[in-house]
Amino acid sequence: MTGDLPLGVLLGVLLPLAGGALLGAGVRAGLARGRRPVLLPWAWCVVGTACGCGMVATAAVVGGAAASRVPVLLVVTVLAVAGSATDAVAGRLPDVLTVPALVLGLAALVPSGALPAGLAGAVVLGGLHAGVAFAAPAALGGGDVKLAAALGGPLAAAGWWALAAAPALAAAVLVAVAWRLRRRAVPLGPALLGVTWILLLVPT
């Protein structure tokens, strides 16, 4: 048993850390070469994504996250780190992030059979944010709507409670941050992404 521990650590933690670092570096390079380039701090993307993927893998190894949820959690992890950084630095969520995340997030639900729920969740959460953006264009942008659609699938697959809780908790976070910083406008992306990632890690 003791002799198997180093191999288990390698496969369960070190490989996800290395894979996350590579994914973070790739996403950072893609954003820097986009139509409207965004240059993100190296440590934010690479180290942040590596740590996030390592935490997901650790949660799966210790039984804190269902194995069937790991693929979609990894997609959300990459999106959460890069999306939060991009929204904070550039104040927008480009299509190069949100559109692939929507497709990959739904594809990650296929093995677990949760694709129908994911499609419904993407329509519901994306439609809700689209309605807000239509009613108050200054409050939400197109990137926020696409982000909501990309996160709606994984949330609905986890449970409709998660789909309902995510926007409510994100709104509470926004109010708290705006009050603390004495600002009227706070980016939605980091709050919604962070809340979604945490909710998906919750064992159900």
Residue 103, amino acid? V
- Per residue in 147-189, pLDDT tens? 999 999 999 999 999 999 999 999 999 999 988 888 777 889 9
Six token digits for residue 24: 């973070």
Six token digits for residue 76: 């959300």
- Per residue in 56-75, pLDDT tens? 988 887 777 778 889 999 99
Task: Tell me the mean pLDDT in the region 109-130.
Answer: 95
Domain map (residue ranges) of the chain: 5-201
The CA distance from 179 to 27, in Å, is 32
Q: Are 144 and 129 in contact (CB under 8 A)?
A: yes
Quickly state the pLDDT bin for 1 (edges 50, 70, 90). Answer: very low
Q: Is the pLDDT of residue 11 over 80?
A: no
Share of the chain above pLDDT 90, in %: 63
Average pLDDT in the chain:
89
Six token digits for residue 197: 């990632």
- Per residue in 16-36, pLDDT tens? 889 999 999 999 999 998 888
pLDDT of residue 24: 93
Six token digits for residue 37: 């380039």
- Per residue in 181-204, pLDDT tens? 887 778 899 999 999 999 998 876
* Phi-psi region at 182: left, alpha or beta (left = phi > 0; alpha = psi -120 to 50): left
pLDDT of residue 101: 95
pLDDT of residue 2: 44
Q: Name the one residue in this structure whose structure tokens are 């521990």.
A: 5
Nearest CA to 86 out of 162, 27, 173 is that of: 27
Q: How many CB atoms lie within 10 A of CB 10?
A: 11
Question: What is this structure's pTM?
Answer: 0.90
pLDDT of residue 61: 79
